Amino acid sequence: MTKAAIITGAGSGLGQAAATRLAEDGVNISVVDINEQGGKETVEMVKKLGADAIFIKADVSKQEDVKNYVDKTVEHFGSIDYFFNNAGISGSGKYYLETEINEIEKIVGINLLGALYGVRYVAEQMMKNGGGSIVNTASSAGVIGQDSVVTYSATKHGIIGLTKSMVAEYAKDGLRVNAIAPGPTETPMVKEFYEENPKMKENATSGIPQKRLGTPEEVAELVAFLLTSKAEYINGEVIRIDGGFTNTK
């Protein structure tokens, strides 16, 4: 039976790479993003690989948008087997006491509330069919403390708490929830952040034992593995994919 996945933030970066990787295995994709152009581009990429895909525009910080993308996925594909809970933003890179309150609220709304809403509505549907698999996007900044990203780091630590606690409550009912913790990765979001904060890129690269940034395709391989039946006994884990970056901290 053909599987169906929801991927948030699927219009670019990790989400787009995961969508195409899963499509190679015949998984149908609900492409969720606030960026309509990027989302529709991902849909075309998925269809070229032979899987079905739909685009659903959503602001994940709004619970009604989240419920809508879940409802539309079930309506179109019949069920939700996999969920890559990935949408997020990094922020301006300012030190915390210089950060505007509206920026703090925006990051928390998208990164943490968006993830909480996603798990809330997706897991509800998954449980109707005996369970499913969720991968949440945390970050190296969710594993260690990092300067210039205090609010972002707080939300990513929250993602890890969400991951572990959902397993404590629902693993017995067939739900698997894991998290990935990517280090600096060559996504549009990270490139934009480093363009505005060039010193941060230099510091990050020099601090990675492998001396390079990761790629979206490398992260997508891990996501595909964790979501599927190949990883059925992995649950509640936070898997770092950072070239050794957090290992040296």
Residues assigned a catalytic role = 152
Helices in the chain by DSSP H: which ranges?
13-24, 36-48, 63-77, 101-107, 114-128, 150-170, 188-196, 198-207, 216-227
Number of neighbouring beta carbons within 10 Å of residue 212 = 11
Asked if residue 186 lies in contact with residue 128, where contact means CB atoms within 8 angstroms, the answer is no
DSSP character at residue 228: S
Amino acid at 193: F
Q: Which amino acid is at 99?
A: T
Tokens 């969508």 correspond to 19
